[in-house]
């Protein structure tokens, strides 16, 4: 299941804060802040999708993520590779290294990461 852009923005806040009350979530937005009902609707959808849960604390709810950011991002990258690069990680890597204007240092860092992974296998 996937999150909308607004849900992803809210999810990023929860990943950073780990747990948050509604007032904490609203405080992170710049003016003009979204309405409390808007955030509540997003949280309800995210709860229904299985991304967020909450604990009841008196009359408030403390929200927390059920999905790790790394897992969510990994699923997206794998979907991107499958849908846009014919399920070829090599095609994705070729595109990424040629089209993102990486510096020589960044390319060397990537090479070191790849070399490290090759040693593990």
Only one residue has tokens 């399920």, namely 87
Q: Which residues pair with 61 in a beta bridge?
A: 56
Instruction: Round to whole Å and give the CA distance between 72 and 85.
Output: 19
Could you say which DSSP state residue 2 is in?
A: -
Could you say which DSSP state residue 40 is in?
A: H
In this predicted structure, the answer to whether residue 96 has a pLDDT above a threshold of 90 is no
Mean pLDDT of the chain: 93
pLDDT bin (cut points 50, 70, 90) of residue 29 is: very high
Sequence-ordered list of residues with C-beta below 8 angstroms from that of 49, at least 6 positions apart, any chain: 1, 3
Query: What is the percent of the chain where pLDDT is above 90?
Result: 72
pLDDT at 80: 87
pLDDT bin (cut points 50, 70, 90) of residue 25 is: very high
- Greatest mean pLDDT range, 33-37, 86-90, 95-99: 33-37
pLDDT at 63: 98
For residue 66, the SS3 value is coil
Q: What's the pLDDT tens digit per position in 45-92?
A: 999 999 999 999 999 999 999 999 999 999 888 888 999 999 998 898
In the chain, what are the domain boundaries?
5-65, 69-120
Instruction: Round to whole Å and give the CA distance between 69 and 15.
Output: 7
5-65: CATH topology:
Arc Repressor Mutant, subunit A (1.10.10)
CB 14 within 8 A of CB 43: no
């Amino acid at each position: 299941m996937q999150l909308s852009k607004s849900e992803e923005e809210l999810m990023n806040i929860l990943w950073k804060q780990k747990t948050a009350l509604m007032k904490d979530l609203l405080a992170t937005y710049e003016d003009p802040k979204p309405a409390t009902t808007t955030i509540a609707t997003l949280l309800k959808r995210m709860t229904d999708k299985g991304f967020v849960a909450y604990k009841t604390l008196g009359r408030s709810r403390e929200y927390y993520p059920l999905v790790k950011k790394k897992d969510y991002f990994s699923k997206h990258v794998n979907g991107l590779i499958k849908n846009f690069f014919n399920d070829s990680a090599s095609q994705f890597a070729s595109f990424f290294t040629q089209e993102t204007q990486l510096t020589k240092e960044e390319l060397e860092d990537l090479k070191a990461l790849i070399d490290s992974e090759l040693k593990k296998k």
